[in-house]
Amino acid sequence: MMYSIIETLKKNQLSITDSRKKILELFVKAKGALAHADIEHQSGTEFDRVTIYRTLQTFVEKGIIHTIPTSDNSVRYALCKDACTEGHHHDNHVHFMCDVCGTTYCLDNITTPDVKLPEGFRSTQTDLVVSGVCAKCAN
Amino acid sequence: MMYSIIETLKKNQLSITDSRKKILELFVKAKGALAHADIEHQSGTEFDRVTIYRTLQTFVEKGIIHTIPTSDNSVRYALCKDACTEGHHHDNHVHFMCDVCGTTYCLDNITTPDVKLPEGFRSTQTDLVVSGVCAKCAN
DNA sequence: AATATTTTGCAACAATGTTGCAATGTTGTA
DNA sequence: TACAACATTGCAACATTGTTGCAAAATATT
């Protein structure tokens, strides 16, 4: 953690509100990625559903979090390690999704390969999603 | 195309019904992947929404089509080239999703890399999704 | 502290997906 | 071909997920 939650919000020119502090805190504490529903449950009845949607949207726009394509096509968001410190470089993520517990891990130390695309295709983003069983669920 | 639509259904021990024939035909004709909504529009008012959901589910279970994780987390299904002929080997797909026209392409001739996972993690499936601009939208 | 701006919560709505059940269609067998 | 057994469909009702407009409340600016 290089920056505090409040500093991260300020750096991104966002007003400091309860919901933003709380939701960003959830991401910082979370080991893996969070779905909208996770946030809704973990924050209790504290915030309106709509506020959560809008907060997530705002965070994505500012590059604080990013969405993860998952093999079950549920929407998940993650704050990767460099997200706080380096900004918008969300091009080379490898994610692991556990089929048992559903946790999504960011494998920050692995980078995506370069893919040779057919003639005329241009790539802007590459996502590599590995599904399987995580270490915790292996036993 | 090695097998006709009816033969494909028979091979998978499915009864031959109008909706299955029609929906499978849509996949065979489609260049890329289809979302539920695409199928709903392309088949007109012919079938109930529920029937489409159930048919897609059945096809996924039988390994005729498979879901694609997309960068915008919309659910898409595709019949990859080998799906008809070889069955259930949906482990090594590379998909390209055009940010402009939304078409999803299966890049069947490219295989996903082996990823070295952390200690204790076991992989069952690897999905590589490249987003960008396709050849058709490049101009 | 007062005003300007942003964010929130509510309500209403739209889209997407699921389930139970009766009616219909398909398949296998005689 | 006709019948019985079985599978699939369509309908209705519902659950979940996501979106929009607007007044009230909170935050930021002076």
- A133 vs A99: CA distance, rounded Å: 6
Which residues of chain B neighbour A100 with C-beta distances below 8 Å? none
Mutate to test the interface with B, among A115, A134, A137, A139 (most CBs of B within 10 A): A115
* pLDDT at residue B83 in the model: 41
Residue B105 has pLDDT above 80, yes or no: yes
* pLDDT at residue A127 in the model: 83
* pLDDT at residue B81 in the model: 56
Q: What is the pLDDT of residues A5-57, one digit of tens each?
A: 999 999 999 999 999 999 999 999 887 789 898 898 888 778 999 999 999 99
In which band, very low, low, confident or very high, does the pLDDT at A84 lie, cut at 50, 70 and 90? Answer: very low
- Would you say the C-beta of B48 is within 7 Å of strand C? no
Measured CA to C1', the nucleotide nearest B16 is: C26
In which band, very low, low, confident or very high, does the pLDDT at A121 lie, cut at 50, 70 and 90? Answer: very high
Tokens representing B105? Answer: 């392409």
CB pairs under 8 A between A and B: 131
Q: Are the beta carbons of B22 and B55 closer than 8 angstroms? A: no
Residue A67 has pLDDT above 60, yes or no: yes
Calculate how close chain A gets to B15, using CA atoms only, in Å: 27
List the single protein residue with the shortest CA to C1' distance from D19: A50
Beta strand segments in chain B, E: 34-35, 66-68, 76-78, 92-98, 104-106, 122-133
Taking residues B69-90, report their average pLDDT. 62
Residue A50 CA, nucleotide C12 C1', distance (Å): 13
* pLDDT at residue B69 in the model: 78
Residue B125 has pLDDT above 50, yes or no: yes
Domains observed in chain A: 5-132 (1.10.10.10)
Q: What is the pLDDT of residues B38-52, one digit of tens each?
A: 999 888 778 999 999
Residue A107 has pLDDT above 70, yes or no: yes
Which residues of chain B neighbour A130 with C-beta distances below 8 Å? 115, 117, 123, 125-127
* pLDDT at residue B75 in the model: 84
List the single protein residue with the shortest CA to C1' distance from D25: A17
- B90 vs A101: CA distance, rounded Å: 22
R_g over Cα of chain A: 16
Q: Give rounded-to-5 percent helix, strand, coil for chain A.
A: 30, 20, 50
Residue A126 has pLDDT above 60, yes or no: yes
Mutate to test the interface with B, among A91, A129, A134, A137 (most CBs of B within 10 A): A129
Residue A70 has pLDDT above 90, yes or no: no
* pLDDT at residue A3 in the model: 64
